[in-house]
Structure 1
Amino acid sequence: MTRRRLNAEEEALWAALIRSVRPLRPQAAPVLVPDASQAVDHTPPSRPRPLPPPAPPPSSRPAPAAILDGTWERRIRGGNINPDMSIDLHGHSLSAAHARLNQALASAVMNQARVLLVVTGKPPKTAEKSGSSRRGAIRGEIGHWLETSPHAHRIASVRIAHPRHGGDGALYVILRRAK
């Protein structure tokens, strides 16, 4: 495509547009007003290459531990753990369960509880018989909810509960001590 010169009406429109634009940053490069003697390229700009997604910033929050110390491990495995608080989420909608979980975490942190028992409910029996890996909706979301919680930095570990506390239908959320 050949370049052409702007006519008087187009030059006036271009000048008005330039005057209405504000730079994103004050120290940005000055806007150049094209000279009437310069030709303007009207070819559509090529699509810019998509930028790679930015790397997540390094988290200053400690991640939940995969393995706790031996005492905690023995207590969890043997069912010798007594939750300081518990919350039952099954039967609630996703939004109500999420709100209740955040309230329970806030209450546990405020009361300096160490172990919160979260009952999510077991997967449907039909899913177990058919061999599918379908889980309940709350159980499927709870990991994400705990990771994004305002109290995520206080969570030391998340474990499946002992059968006497609900087994696969419940989780222990073990909280860090307040410093």
Structure 2
Amino acid sequence: MASVRPIEGRAKPAAPIAVPVAAPPRTAPVKSPPPKFVKIRPAPVPAALVAARPPAPPKPAAKATLDGGWDKRLARGLVSPESSIDLHGHTLSTAHRVLDAGLADAITRGDRVLLLVTGKPPRADAERPYGRGAIRAAIGDWLAGSRHADRIAAVRGAHPRHGGAGALYIVLRRARTG
């Protein structure tokens, strides 16, 4: 404030007057009790206002077991299956047995790619609403629960030259040596 000058034409403000303040009488210090801390709980939010958490996305099953080179070659039809299993004309129980025996034979021979012919799935506009495509629908469960499930690296749709929508490639893992 010492270096500030008033604007010309205006009166100087009056200097503040210092008023002596009486000191409070000296007494013994009073000890106050320590502060108490109270836990504050948030009020419950009505269920209608809580945003529902979206369900976790399903984990990809066998899709991530092949590298990109395998997937490209399978999609282009450049891989020739070493053996095939045809499930046409079988009932569910016989198809399951034939699939299990065919997988066991392919693993014993050391095959890497197996062609599984199941038949085409039913069309959406099909006039028959009953059990058509039951074998095709059960294949995923059969392979996942199979005694050979640990030897299956991937299951992919077949290229049109190998049956297209009516067939699947089953890629088997290499036999472990050592």
SS for the counterpart of 2:119 is coil
Tell me how far apart the structure 1 counterparts of residues 138 and 155 of structure 2 sit (CA, whole Å): 14
Sort the Cα spacing of 1:99 and 1:89 in 2 relative to 1 into closer, same or farther, 3 A.
same
Sort the Cα spacing of 1:92 and 1:130 in 2 relative to 1 into closer, same or farther, 3 A.
closer
Aligned partner of 1:164 in structure 2 is 161
Q: What's the CA shift for 1:66? A: 3.4
Q: 1:147 aligns with which of 124, 144, 148?
A: 144
Q: What's the CA shift for 1:116? A: 0.6
Tell me how far apart the structure 2 counterparts of residues 68 and 135 of structure 1 sit (CA, whole Å): 31
State the identity %.
Answer: 58
Q: How does 1:14-163 map to 2 (within 5 A)?
A: 64-66=62-64, 68-124=66-122, 127-129=123-125, 136-163=133-160
SS for the counterpart of 1:129 is coil
CA contact (8 A) 1:90 1:138 kept: no
Highest Rg: 1 or 2?
A: 2
Tell me how far apart the structure 1 counterparts of residues 103 and 164 of structure 2 sit (CA, whole Å): 20
SS for the counterpart of 2:142 is helix
Offset from partner CA, 1:73-105 (integer Å, 9 cap, x none): 111111101001101002100000000000010
Between 66-75 and 155-164, report the one with greater CA deviation. Answer: 66-75
When the two chains are superposed, the root-mean-square deviation of aligned CA atoms in Å is: 2.0
Gaps of 5+ in 1: 1-62
Instruction: Tell me the TM-score normalised to structure 2 length.
Output: 0.59
CA contact (8 A) 1:112 1:178 kept: yes
Gaps of 5+ in 2: 1-60
Sort the Cα spacing of 1:66 and 1:135 in 2 relative to 1 into closer, same or farther, 3 A.
farther
The runs of 4+ residues in structure 1 deviating greater than 4 Å are none
Aligned partner of 2:56 in structure 1 is none
Q: By percentage of residues, which structure has more helix? A: 1
SS for the counterpart of 2:71 is helix
CA contact (8 A) 2:151 2:172 kept: yes
